[in-house]
Structure formats: C-alpha cells, structure tokens
Amino acid sequence: MTSLDALADQYLNYLRIEKGLSKKTIESYSADISRYLDFLKTAKVKNIKDADTHFILKHLIVLREEGLSARSRARHLVTLRGFYRFLSREGNLEHDAARLVDLPKIGLKLPDVMSVEEIKRLINIPDTGKSIGLRDSAMLELLYAAGLRVSELVNLQLQDINLEAGFIRILGKGSKERVVPIGLYAKEKIDAYIKTARPLLLKHRSSRYLFIARAGKPMTRQAFWKLLKRYALQGGIKKNITPHSFRHSFASHLLEGGADLRAVQEMLGHADISTTQIYTHITREHLRKIHEKYHPRG
C-alpha cells in the first residue's frame, strides 16, 4: 500500500515534469492536496482506495463551514479531480471517485470590458513627446494588441519581438511559449520607443528587457498597475480598469469581430478552450442587441 503522502508526491512530480506547470501553480496544487490529506488522516483514512466520493463531498462541506468561498472550493475540487484522475490512470484506484462531484456554483463573474473608444482614449493619454510617455503608450498599445497578461508584458525581452514580421514571442503560464501577431499601431509605437525613448531611459546602461523602468530594470507589475490607474483617472473612465481589462477587451473585441474561438484561445495562451469561452458572453450580448435592433420581430 502506497502512503497518501507518496501518492501526492507522485502527482506533483507528474505536474512538474510531464505537464511543465510553473512553481507557483505547483505550490497551489500542493497546498490543496495537503489540506485534503490532512482531512483524510483526521478521519483515520490510510488507503486512498477508501477515500471515495463521500469523503470528497465531506471535505468540501468542511471547507464551506470554515468560510471558504465557492470559488475557492471550486479550485480545491479541480485539484482533487486532477489528483484522482491521475491515480486512476496509474492504477492506484479502480474508479475515479471525484469525477461525478459537481463544482460549487460560483456564478459567472463577467470581466470588465472597455469599448474600442475607451481603449483608444487610454492609449492616447500619455505624453509621447516625453520618453516615459512614449514608453507608456507603447506598453498600453501592446497590452491590447496581443492580449498579454501584465507579467508577460513587463518581462518581455528585446529578443522576443520581431517588428519586421509583426510577431512577439511570449513565455506564458506553465512556461508554455506562444507566438502572437501585433498590429500596425503597436509596431509603430514600439519602433518609435526603441529608437528614441529607450536609449534615453537607459542612460548608457544595457538591459535585455524591452520596457525599461529605473536603472535599466523592468517595470514591476504593481508599478504598471498604478500607472494604468492614473491614466484611467485622467481619461475620466469610470470602470474599474486593471491590466487584465485590456486582455478581456482584446478577446471580446476579436470574438465580436468574428474571430474563431480556437484562434483566440491560441493567442491568449489558454490550455483549455473552456477558459476562453467566458468571453463568448460578450459576443452573445452583442448579437442579442443586433437582433433586437434590426430583426422585424426583435
């Protein structure tokens, strides 16, 4: 009989080596599994074969009683589903006890999406007559052009961008690489920044990073968040704008324009298309309004 801890180690090694998940993601999975194993040990369960659906449900109830939100409990269940699926595939279990357990109802949190006009207004706020303004405008343009996560934006290196071909290479979650096209506006802004503003910001230093903050170092995620909040305030945008709002808007605007869901999934770097499907509510709402406006019996 393999111990519960040994089985957990096998699964985490599988996620690390076979799936290539990031250290932060592995730590999150490890914390969830450790919590579940502590629950099983308290219940005197020593063999994973005895930890059937009843124990999984009881664990979720305990998490709810401890005050965990539906979203956090759903994350726990996703972790346990992966764990049980792995154990079944490896022959440690005869059947997957987690497969039929439903996710806690968390509702659909609709992402904040900006209009094209709001995007344009924000991008044009920085003073491009100054080096910092040109940098900021280029960052905002690229964030929207490629649907980047803020961590991907601030960690971009010069070698990751090919302006002539109009593509950037991104190392995303789980160290997965993707190549995303960028438009003419982003190409022109980045080209101007690299040729004029970046050398002035570097002040004879060298840096492999595309967007430079102080002393040639990359900007932090927190610094970019504050910068964006300041520009949103200057632009009179009332919505709760975050760096992720640009990513939401990128996906939603593409889908509204008729882009294929799989293509958007590829550009966003989503491993599972169901993650991308959260954006289709925007398209559905757009279609509903068109139907109401133009259909004879809308």
Active site residue 75: no
Q: Assign a CATH topology to domain 4-89.
A: DNA polymerase; domain 1 (1.10.150)
CA-nearest of 151, 193, 176 to 270 is 176
CA-nearest of 53, 107, 105 to 80 is 53
Active site residue 244: yes
pLDDT of residue 122: 94
Active site residue 173: yes
Q: What percent of the chain has a predicted confidence (pLDDT) above 90?
A: 46
Active site residue 247: yes
**7: three-class secondary structure by DSSP:** helix
User: From the candidates 49, 173, 229, 286, which is the catalytic residue?
Assistant: 173
Q: What is the mean pLDDT of the chain?
A: 86
pLDDT of residue 88: 92
User: From the candidates 59, 75, 149, 198, which is the catalytic residue?
Assistant: 149
User: From the candidates 178, 244, 281, 286, which is the catalytic residue?
Assistant: 244
Of residues 12 and 269, more confidently modeled: 12
pLDDT digits (tens, 9 = 90+) for 37-86: 999 999 999 899 999 888 898 898 888 888 888 888 888 888 999 999 99
User: From the candidates 75, 135, 198, 247, which is the catalytic residue?
Assistant: 247
Range name among 31-35, 206-210, 250-254 with the lowest pLDDT average? 250-254
> What is the rounded distance in angstroms from the CA atom of residue 288 to the CA atom of residue 53?
41
User: From the candidates 59, 75, 135, 270, which is the catalytic residue?
Assistant: 270
With left for phi above 0 and alpha for psi between -120 and 50, is residue 44 left, alpha or beta? Answer: left
CATH classification for the domain delimited by 116-291, as one of 1.10.443.10, 3.30.420.40, 2.40.100.10, 3.10.20.600: 1.10.443.10
Active site residue 262: no
Q: Where are the domains of the chain?
A: 4-89, 116-291
With a cut of 80, say whether residue 261 has pLDDT above it.
no
Long-range contacts of 72-80 (CB under 8 A, 24+ apart): 73/104, 74/103, 74/104, 74/106, 75/28, 75/32, 76/32, 76/35, 76/36, 77/101, 77/103, 77/104, 78/103, 79/28, 79/29, 79/32, 79/33, 79/36, 80/32, 80/33, 80/36, 80/56
pLDDT digits (tens, 9 = 90+) for 139-151: 999 999 999 999 9
